[in-house]
């Protein structure tokens, strides 16, 4: 059985990917420091797949611990590296923490790959590397724009580190640029677990609807879009998770055309904030309390993916509709309210 290291495997996208990997016959070992996730996710994964993944709790910024991990896991077939801080706004307050966590952990992993001859790594990148693209839908060859936040900059730096290292080391990299992952597993056993007040739109919507928050602020209605609210390409987290299995298989089967491949992961369709709210109200039957607020600093106006490369080269396509995404997010919020598990 092929064994895959999933860093950040108890997090939102990581946990859904672990489920898909196990369901495709992979053995998974998770490394996570639990700084933004809960150990209970392991039992939730077991309830879905029947297998509790192996787990080690440590911070990949710790060079010695990371080296020791790799020394004890010589037989890894590949790595999916999710573990990172991900809140753009917070990164403005804590830039050093973001650079240290996101960049140093990748360096330590690359050291481990070099030392133990591990060839394949899938890296979690983000559409944030594009900033506000000049052309939409945005393709993978669009240039990086000056980052708007330390968080976005760490994704650019990590992609660059990987690119230069593919010139030197016998490694292969697939960088996946996520658009806006939302939703939850159909079982409602795993989903997004934001700590404190959510930054992201969909958890804020579902928390408002369930009564944890008073009112959703819609950040800006004077953008150059059909209803004035900002446009994003929302993608179901299970679609996203499946793309990682496809990427791992592509690497293991030796099908990569280049040592570094980059793919956009989105649906290719942009929705405004108002359309997301309407979809939520439609599927939940709940009237959402919201108000229009000023634009949020650092937000781009509109972005959605050109998905042709992922569709044609990976043979992968997102299949879930916006309504399905919102329904699964709502079912997850209701499960949380009942006490998941
Ligand atoms: C954000 C990050 C992005 C990161 C992603 C990770 C910023 C600027 N970008 O994406 O780099 O990769 O999260 O999850 O932080 N909105 C509201 N009210 C809210 C919350 C959001 O109107 O309470 C709007 C936003 O203005 C935006 C849309 O909803 O137009 C989506 O916002 P969000 O879910 O935070 O994602 P991004 O900002 O696109």
Q: Read off the CATH number of the domain in which 180 is found.
A: 3.40.50.720
Q: Whose CA is nearest to atom 36 of ligand 1?
A: 200
Residue 26 catalytic?
A: no
Whether 263 and 177 have beta carbons less than 8 Å apart is answered as yes
Residue 105, pLDDT score: 98
Residue 334, pLDDT score: 98
30 lines ligand 1 (CB under 6 A): no
Count of positions (residues) in the chain? 341
- In which domain, by residue range, is 169 found? 3-185+234-268+305-319
DSSP-derived letter for residue 119 is: -
Residue 14, pLDDT score: 98
8 in any annotated domain: yes
Q: Count of CB atoms within 10 A of residue 128's CB?
A: 25
Residue 341, pLDDT score: 58
Ligand 1: distance of its center to the CA of 273 in Å? Answer: 10
Ligand 1: distance of its center to the CA of 274 in Å? Answer: 14
Residue 195, pLDDT score: 85
Alpha carbon of 76 to those of 63, 152, 228, 325: distances in Å? Answer: 18, 29, 49, 33
Instruction: State pLDDT tens for residues 51-103.
Output: 999 999 999 999 999 999 999 998 999 999 999 999 998 999 999 999 999 99
Give 172: exposed, middle or buried? Use CB within 10 Å, 0-12, 13-18, 19+: buried
Q: Kindly report the pTM of this predicted structure.
A: 0.97
190 in any annotated domain: no
109 in any annotated domain: yes
Number of domains in the chain: 1
Residue 87, pLDDT score: 92
Q: Which segments in the chain show pLDDT lower than 70?
A: 341
181 in any annotated domain: yes
Chain-centroid distance, C-alpha 40: 20
Whether 304 and 179 have beta carbons less than 8 Å apart is answered as yes
Ligand 1: distance of its center to the CA of 38 in Å? Answer: 23
Nearest to 186 by CA among 3, 58, 20, 10: 20
Residue 48, pLDDT score: 98
80 in any annotated domain: yes
Q: Count of CB atoms within 10 A of residue 338's CB?
A: 8
Whether 79 and 172 have beta carbons less than 8 Å apart is answered as no
Of 26, 98, 130, 151, catalytic: 151
Residue 68, pLDDT score: 98
Residue 262, pLDDT score: 98
DSSP-derived letter for residue 104 is: I
Q: Which atom from ligand 1 is nearest to the alpha carbon of 218?
A: 22
Residue 9, pLDDT score: 98
249 in any annotated domain: yes
Q: Which atom from ligand 1 is nearest to the alpha carbon of 293?
A: 22
What is the spatial distance between Cα 216 and Cα 51, in angstroms, rounded to a whole number? Answer: 38
Residue 178, pLDDT score: 98
């Amino acid at each position: 059985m092929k064994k895959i290291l999933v860093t950040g495997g108890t997090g939102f996208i990581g946990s859904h990917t672990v489920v898909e990997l196990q369901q495709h016959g992979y053995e998974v070992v998770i490394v996570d420091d639990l700084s933004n996730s809960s150990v209970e996710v392991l039992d939730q994964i077991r309830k879905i797949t029947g297998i509790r993944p192996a787990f080690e709790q440590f911070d990949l910024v710790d060079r010695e611990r990371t080296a020791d991990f790799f020394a004890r896991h010589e037989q890894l077939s590949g790595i999916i590296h999710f573990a990172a801080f991900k809140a753009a706004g917070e990164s403005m307050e804590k830039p050093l923490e973001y650079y240290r966590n996101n960049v140093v952990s990748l360096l330590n992993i690359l050291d481990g790959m070099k030392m133990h001859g591990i060839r394949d790594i899938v890296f979690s990148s983000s559409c944030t590397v594009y900033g506000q693209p000049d052309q939409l839908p945005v393709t993978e060859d669009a240039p990086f724009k000056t980052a708007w936040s330390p968080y976005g900059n760490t994704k650019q730096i990590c992609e660059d580190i990987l690119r230069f290292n593919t010139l030197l080391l016998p490694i292969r990299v697939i960088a996946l640029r996520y658009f806006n992952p939302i939703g939850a597993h159909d079982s409602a056993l795993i989903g997004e677990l934001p700590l404190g007040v959510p930054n992201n739109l969909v958890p804020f919507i579902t928390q408002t609807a369930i009564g944890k928050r008073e009112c959703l602020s819609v950040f800006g209605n004077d953008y150059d879009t059909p209803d004035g609210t900002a446009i994003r390409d929302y993608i179901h987290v299970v679609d996203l998770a499946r793309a990682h299995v496809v990427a791992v298989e592509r690497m293991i089967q030796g099908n990569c055309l280049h040592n570094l491949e980059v793919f956009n992961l989105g649906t290719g369709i942009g929705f405004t904030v108002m359309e997301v709210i309407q979809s939520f109200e439609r599927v939940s039957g709940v009237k959402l309390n919201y108000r229009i607020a000023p634009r949020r600093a650092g937000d781009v106006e509109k972005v959605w993916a050109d998905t042709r490369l992922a569709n044609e080269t990976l043979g992968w396509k997102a299949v879930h509709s916006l309504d399905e995404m919102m329904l699964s997010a709502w079912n997850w919020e209701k499960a949380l309210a009942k006490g998941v598990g």
